[in-house]
Amino acid sequence: MGIEYSESIEEATQIARAALPLASQLAVPANPVNYAVFYEYVAGQNPQLTAALDQLRETVKDLSNAELRALYHNFVSETDEESLKEVRRALSTIIDSTRGSLEKVGNESQIYQENLGVAAKQLGGAGGGDVVDVVTQLIDETVRMQKASRELQEELAQTNQDLSKLRSEFKRVREESLVDPLTGVQNRRAFDASLETAFNQAQQSSEPLCLLMVDIDHFKKVNDTYGHVVGDAVLKLVARAINDTVRGGDVLARYGGEEFILLLPDTPLEGAERVADNICNVVRNQIMDRSHVGKDIGRVTVSVGVALFCQKESAEAFVARADTALYRAKQSGRNRVCTDEVR
């Protein structure tokens, strides 16, 4: 269970402001991993992390990215999604307020100088050299103030640039955390979120929702015989073959090991069965030779289980029915499609 933050967005923003300078103080880049460590450290709600970082600061002269990454994996990586959203909201607030400060400083100093210039001309026309001299001095002061403001603007602009870059990095890391690095399709975490969305929509509408569980037949034998490099190549080819059969709104994910799962919104059972048959045919006809996977391993086949969503069932039950259908397909000889009997 991750750490839960109770502070308001204003308090989170103050923590974010205090966390950012730590990167400069420790001479390390403020990348998302390092920043997450600093945020937790300043928040003070992760005593194990605080103790570990304090000890490192006392014993290590120059902290490295590797040491901070170790702290992240040991004490931060299990932080729940809501906590990360809180950090992102705080960063967004800083960026917005910084941008507002930049505009305000520039606009106010410009208006101030223009107004004083007008006043000097008016007083000059009316006589009273002493008054004009005073106003002229004020204009000189304003010019100096504008120079200082410009320097402040440059500093704020750099901060704004750094924060914008950090937010982009958070977005990139977030997106990468939802993708299976080997096959390039969604991972199980991303699929669970997609399933929840589609499941809720299906409960509130009459549109059909189908689920396919796809398993590579005898994949363990492929790994044991040809090695994991070839096994990885087979996984990538199968993922690509499945992905080529789906529509834009369908969701494909690697569910674990050699198993893939495919969510088909707004698809009747007959349509899902056609998709499953097509997947079997495409994979079966894929040539797994030296040019594709590094060795000639013959043909690879898949088994597929199909289920249609039933109202009032849970998402877990929905997935379990597709998994049961997949089990029957494998027990029946593999290289085939089996459909859950509940219609």
Domain with residue 237: its CATH number is 3.30.70.270
Choice between 6 and 87, residue whose per-residue pLDDT is larger:
87
Identify the domain boundary among 118, 146, 177: 177
Q: Are residues 167 and 207 in the same domain?
A: no
Q: Are residues 277 and 167 in the same domain?
A: no
pLDDT one-digit tens code per residue, 249-281: 899 999 988 999 999 999 999 999 999 999 999
Q: Are residues 197 and 162 in the same domain?
A: no
Give how many domains the chain has, as a whole number: 2
Q: Are residues 166 and 200 in the same domain?
A: no
- pLDDT at 58 (0 to 100): 85
Domain that includes residue 198, residue range? 188-339
pLDDT reading at 1 higher than 70: no
Q: Are residues 312 and 233 in the same domain?
A: yes
The band of 77, judged by pLDDT with boundaries at 50, 70 and 90, is low
Q: Are residues 21 and 150 in the same domain?
A: yes
Q: Are 19 and 30 in contact (CB under 8 A)?
A: no
Q: CA distances (Å), 136 to each of 25, 111, 130, 142, in order?
A: 43, 16, 10, 10
Q: Which of 12-16, 42-46, 308-312 has the lowest mean pLDDT?
A: 12-16
Identify the domain boundary among 125, 150, 177: 177
> Average pLDDT, stretch 222-240?
91
Q: Are residues 214 and 284 in the same domain?
A: yes
- pLDDT at 91 (0 to 100): 66
pTM (2 d.p.): 0.57
Return the residue matching tokens 């549109």: 207
Q: CA distances (Å), 202 to each of 109, 199, 265, in order?
A: 57, 5, 8
Identify the domain boundary among 142, 177, 212: 177
Q: Are residues 16 and 87 in the same domain?
A: yes
Q: Percent of the chain beyond pLDDT 90?
A: 32
Mean pLDDT score of the chain = 81
pLDDT reading at 206 higher than 50: yes
Q: Are residues 170 and 275 in the same domain?
A: no
pLDDT reading at 333 higher than 70: yes
Q: Are residues 63 and 134 in the same domain?
A: yes
Choosing from 154, 258, 259, 273, which is the catalytic residue? Answer: 258
Q: Is 67 a catalytic residue?
A: no
Does 182 fall in a domain? Answer: no
d(CA 142, CA 146): 6
Does 183 fall in a domain? Answer: no
The band of 176, judged by pLDDT with boundaries at 50, 70 and 90, is low
**Strand, coil or helix: 275:** helix
